[in-house]
Amino acid sequence: MNEEITGFRVRYPEIDRMGIAHHSHYFVWFELGRTEWMRRRGMTYRQLEEEQGVFFPLIEARARFRAPALYDEELQVITRLESISRLEVRFEYRIVRPEGGRLLAEGITGHVAADDRGRPRRLPVELYERLHGGSAPSSEESSRA
Amino acid sequence: MNEEITGFRVRYPEIDRMGIAHHSHYFVWFELGRTEWMRRRGMTYRQLEEEQGVFFPLIEARARFRAPALYDEELQVITRLESISRLEVRFEYRIVRPEGGRLLAEGITGHVAADDRGRPRRLPVELYERLHGGSAPSSEESSRA
Amino acid sequence: MNEEITGFRVRYPEIDRMGIAHHSHYFVWFELGRTEWMRRRGMTYRQLEEEQGVFFPLIEARARFRAPALYDEELQVITRLESISRLEVRFEYRIVRPEGGRLLAEGITGHVAADDRGRPRRLPVELYERLHGGSAPSSEESSRA
Amino acid sequence: MNEEITGFRVRYPEIDRMGIAHHSHYFVWFELGRTEWMRRRGMTYRQLEEEQGVFFPLIEARARFRAPALYDEELQVITRLESISRLEVRFEYRIVRPEGGRLLAEGITGHVAADDRGRPRRLPVELYERLHGGSAPSSEESSRA
């Protein structure tokens, strides 16, 4: 299964004057989901960065906001690998209120593989396979996961 | 002229372990630009919220990241009204490094007009006209600004 | 028992260029602890604010940093009510690494009771008693909890 | 003169549900002041970190909040070197509303000199002298600046 669910709670400094979460924090929640998605596949950012020298800087981020997230409520971010090649990775996210199942927001992030100076590099095959959940493609074409 | 330039400096807590600005902050910088764009047309968020009861919650946000923003550098956000109707407003942004003119990121935000409970409402005509820089359209169609 | 333990994980945008959590986030973690402390006594900020019209703006905050918090590690904030009167509340916090029990930071926050405009007010007796875990003092003197 | 004044504007995501700035951001504003204080003495954090390998992790932070900071207002942080030795540096801050001169908050931060792994080190003499604005003391005693 390609999807992971991560629970979190909306923090006080994340809400703004309207009493709802400021939109910039949704991208932080997406990141919580992405981090957890990777952890459950045996990879942590820390390991990737420190042991493998692989970083995943963003090249793109998008979100659609459908209903406001309120202070202190428990929400979930549902994270899915959308596509992967040895050069790029894309994740999809949905923020949902578990009670009632309402979709509050959805979005994507696109990443390149880079070294610690931000220069593009290829994902090591072994890492690619763990992310992808299968064997590496012979070409560099993105494979829908 | 539809475009406004706002200078800002990258703050220490905005950078991450790669030594570059975390992507969530670009949306805060976009907001700095949008705030300034409105202020220069005689509107502040505070006034809009307190005097007119008009809020602009986001329904969409997107960014493309082209080159990293570094700690302590002085950058500019260039803000443009992309489109406006009495129900929706869209802004476009570019983050540039003035020295050399490099484009670091670009993006958009889409907003609805809402009351203080987040319920959709129409922009008051007078406000619409000030934002739009012209007279209100007879229909609700978005007019490219 | 006056003390509550709340777990949390260090988020990516909370770390800075040194690879350690930026000090401003410790005050957010203290707040996570304080929120949880209150929730376990049947009070949420949201309820307090919306139903009772009671806010707790800070008048003071302090922290001592003893060892750095690292990215993605699971930490605990241990929160204790230090003192309470009908006008002021003080909490004490320790941030610890559960594995090994190392103390990373400790601090306090002092709060006044206020209405929704920030004007000082007295805590309702019933609320005071719930926070205090006993009956209200006859005088306004702070009672060490 | 030991004091520097740095202007800044309160950003939208810095305010919370009470419509006032969240207390954690005051420590970010203190840092803006400290950064500027150093820049005006010819030192930037970036230089210190990259060229000299000197970091200034915090060991202590304190603030007293006297009046709320409101959205979008222009404020100043007034920064003063309180004391310095080759092992520790302390700064004092006041956040003021220039119009009317009201003091909104005041605080201190205490720092040690460290290398890029966070290990304590002595400040290079030349750097000490630039910060101190005089010659290095023969002993390690803190000299009130």
Residue window 7-66, chain C: list those with CB within 8 Å of chain B: 12-13, 15-17, 19, 22, 24
Q: By C-alpha distance, which of C30, C20, D5, A79 is closest to B15?
A: C20
Average per-residue pLDDT in chain C? 88
| Element (DSSP H or E) covering residue B3 | strand B3-9
Neighbours of B (≥3 Cβ pairs closer than 8 A)? A, C, D
- Contact between chains at B64 and A60 (C-beta distance less than 8 A): yes
Residue of A nearest to B29 (CA): A24
Residue window 85-144, chain B: list those with CB within 8 Å of chain D: none
Its CATH class, for the domain covering A3-134, is alpha beta
Indicate the pTM of the whole model.
0.85
- Contact between chains at B71 and C12 (C-beta distance less than 8 A): no
Is-contact A46 C10, C-beta < 8 A? Answer: no
Residue of C nearest to A29 (CA): C11
Query: Is a pLDDT exceeding 70 seen at residue B142?
Result: no
What's the pLDDT score for residue A31?
A: 95
Its CATH class, for the domain covering D3-133, is alpha beta
- Contact between chains at C15 and B17 (C-beta distance less than 8 A): yes
User: Is residue A25 classed as helix, strand or coil in its secondary structure?
Assistant: helix
Residues of C in contact with B12 (CB under 8 A): 16-17, 22
**Which whole number is the average pLDDT over A25-31?**
96
- Contact between chains at C22 and B16 (C-beta distance less than 8 A): no
CB atoms within 10 A of CB A2: 12
The whole-angstrom distance between C127's CA and the closest CA on chain D is 20
**Which whole number is the average pLDDT over C107-122?**
90
Is-contact C52 C124, C-beta < 8 A? Answer: yes
Query: Is a pLDDT exceeding 70 seen at residue C84?
Result: yes
Query: Is a pLDDT exceeding 90 seen at residue C69?
Result: yes
What's the pLDDT score for residue B127?
A: 87
For chain D, domain boundaries = 3-133
C48-65 per-position pLDDT tens digit: 888 888 889 999 999 999
D21-34 per-position pLDDT tens digit: 999 999 999 999 99
Helix (H), strand (E), coil (C) string for A69-132: CECCCEEEEEEEEEEECCCEEEEEEEEEECCCCEEEEEEEEEEECECCCCCECCCCHHHHHHHH
Query: Is a pLDDT exceeding 50 seen at residue B31?
Result: yes
Q: Higher-confidence residue: C138 or C34?
A: C34
- Contact between chains at A31 and C12 (C-beta distance less than 8 A): yes
In CATH terms, B3-136 corresponds, of 3.20.20.70, 3.30.70.260, 3.40.50.2300, 3.10.129.10, to 3.10.129.10
- Contact between chains at B63 and A61 (C-beta distance less than 8 A): yes
Query: Is a pLDDT exceeding 80 seen at residue B18?
Result: no
**Which whole number is the average pLDDT over D50-66?**
92
